[in-house]
């Protein structure tokens, strides 16, 4: 019998609309667990016209009776977390007894932001296009075994010693390399010791909690952050995030074993976007790119940065599905393409005159890709709000079937608008979801 679990992740460079999809699916699950990233991952959910932007907290918190768990693979800024909790309470969302934070998650402190901001702004440094929220430096400290975990945050004496030692080191680095003003360790300790007491009621052994839920017959959805092409190992390195955004991160980032993963659901837009720097083979430089950006409201939920827009990239999607073991595909923002007569789709790459469908490991190779396109017919009619696949225009169905056929994963859902109920669920996927809920 397959485990009652699903990993839901982004198949591209993030911003695929995972927040809405996780929210829609969460009514079928006992818990939703976030396994990677920090508060740079904005998930927008619109319910009855009300807009919820979640940065750290899993979307499951918006469903009554669904536990929301922040796993050990996440780096957590206590102040950002508490701000988000306060905002949810203002909106009438019950968080107490429903929201949990791993005692093993790493803590982001002000010196992480200082180092990242200084490094990104330094002359001669390669810009990655980060949000400068301290995520990368917090993961650096984690791997250097010099980080602070949530369990340590709750011990005032240990917290004080850690902040004093870290500030002595980080202030010296920032002053020497970047000319940055030093941070005050005493003030930092006072602020974070107070925050720790507010975080304390949410802290749990999340691995134990998740395994107990599964042992009792419950179901768990693992919520990815960012997207596959931003994964530290498998993405467009070095223009990537600092954590494991792929399906493998669900195990290391929560404390459940690989045999507990039932299925993987990859979320992809009907086109492609990316934020920040880095190669983007199918990026559109013509005015139609501005049309997609306007129709898709392609601006970062956290930063407001305009997203770069491009045509659907089949080699990239096939690669993503392969390394994630994706069984299902959820296609979002189909309605954004409604006005187009023709829709180019990248079906292969040409690099230095050679045709390939392999994703180059190096950025130079990916940057020199010449995409090979086929053109599919547009449908020139509204798909917004259609909730049955068969009622979509024939050309839209053909476009989706092409994506399914070429990518190696079956389409389970199609999103036709931003609202929770603007979605078409295909029968086979609905049946698979029922087995999770049983």
pLDDT computed for residue 43 by the predictor: 65
Angstrom distance (rounded) from CA 421 to CA 427: 16
- From the list 397, 395, 391, 422, the residue with the least C-alpha distance to 411 is 397
* Model confidence pLDDT, tens digit, residues 204-223: 999 999 999 999 999 999 99
CB 354 within 8 A of CB 369: no
Q: H-helix or E-strand containing 109?
A: none
What's the whole-number mean pLDDT along residues 40-47?
67
pLDDT at residue 245 tops 60: yes
Tallying the residues shown for the chain, one arrives at 438
Please give the model's pTM, rounded to 2 decimal places: 0.91
Could you count the other beta carbons within 10 Å of the beta carbon of residue 51?
11
Helix (H, G, I), strand (E, B) or coil at 228: helix
* Model confidence pLDDT, tens digit, residues 92-150: 888 999 999 999 999 999 989 888 877 766 555 555 555 678 899 999 999 999 999 99
Q: What is the mean pLDDT of the chain?
A: 90
- From the list 20, 36, 56, the residue with the least C-alpha distance to 246 is 36
pLDDT at residue 381 tops 90: yes
For residue 240 the two structure tokens come to 């990537």
Angstrom distance (rounded) from CA 4 to CA 426: 19
pLDDT computed for residue 27 by the predictor: 87
pLDDT computed for residue 120 by the predictor: 65
- Residues with active-site annotation: 15, 43
* Model confidence pLDDT, tens digit, residues 317-363: 999 999 999 999 999 999 999 999 999 999 999 988 889 888 888 87
pLDDT at residue 80 tops 90: yes
Cβ-proximal residues to 128 (8 Å cutoff; 6+ apart), any chain: 120, 136, 238, 239, 240, 276, 277, 278
Helix (H, G, I), strand (E, B) or coil at 163: helix
Angstrom distance (rounded) from CA 243 to CA 250: 11
Helix (H, G, I), strand (E, B) or coil at 260: helix
């Amino acid at each position: 019998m397959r485990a009652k679990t699903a990993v839901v992740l982004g198949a591209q460079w993030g911003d695929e609309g995972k927040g809405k999809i996780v929210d829609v699916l969460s009514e079928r699950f006992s818990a939703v667990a976030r396994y990677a990233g920090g508060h740079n991952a904005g998930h927008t959910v619109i319910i009855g016209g009300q807009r919820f932007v979640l940065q750290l907290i899993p979307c499951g918190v918006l469903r009554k009776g669904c536990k929301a768990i922040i796993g050990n693979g996440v780096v957590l800024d206590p102040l950002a977390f508490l701000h988000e909790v306060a905002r949810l309470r203002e909106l009438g969302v019950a968080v107490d007894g429903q929201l949990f934070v791993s005692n093993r998650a790493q803590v982001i402190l002000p010196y992480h932001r200082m180092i990242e901001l200084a490094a990104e702004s330094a002359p001669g440094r390669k810009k990655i296009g980060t949000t400068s929220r301290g995520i990368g430096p917090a993961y650096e400290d984690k791997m250097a075994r010099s980080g602070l975990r949530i369990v340590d945050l709750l011990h005032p004496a240990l917290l004080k010693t850690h902040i004093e030692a870290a500030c002595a080191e980080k202030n010296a680095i920032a002053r020497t390399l970047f000319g940055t003003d030093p941070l005050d360790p005493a003030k930092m300790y006072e602020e974070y010791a107070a925050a720790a007491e507010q975080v304390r009621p949410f802290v749990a052994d999340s691995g134990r909690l998740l395994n107990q839920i599964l042992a009792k017959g419950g179901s768990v959805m693992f919520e990815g952050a960012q997207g596959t092409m931003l994964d530290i190992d498998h993405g467009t390195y070095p223009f990537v995030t600092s954590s494991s955004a792929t399906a493998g991160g669900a195990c290391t980032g929560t404390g459940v074993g690989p045999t507990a993963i039932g299925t993987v659901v990859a979320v992809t837009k009907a086109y492609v976007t990316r934020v920040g720097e880095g190669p983007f083979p199918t990026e559109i430089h013509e005015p139609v790119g501005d049309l997609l950006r306007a129709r898709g409201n392609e601006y970062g939920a956290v930063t407001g940065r305009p997203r770069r827009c491009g045509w659907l990239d089949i080699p990239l999607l096939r690669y993503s599905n392969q390394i994630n073991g994706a069984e299902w595909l959820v296609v979002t923002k189909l309605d954004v393409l409604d006005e187009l007569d023709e829709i180019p789709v990248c079906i292969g790459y040409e690099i230095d005159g050679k045709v390939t469908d392999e994703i180059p490991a190096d950025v130079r190779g990916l940057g020199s890709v010449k995409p090979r396109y086929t053109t599919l017919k547009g449908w020139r009619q509204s798909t917004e709000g259609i909730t049955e696949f068969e009622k979509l225009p024939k050309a839209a169905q053909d476009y989706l079937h092409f994506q399914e056929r070429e990518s190696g994963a079956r389409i389970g859902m199609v999103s036709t608008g931003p609202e929770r109920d603007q979605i078409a669920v295909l029968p086979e996927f609905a049946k698979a979801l029922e087995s999770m809920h049983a």
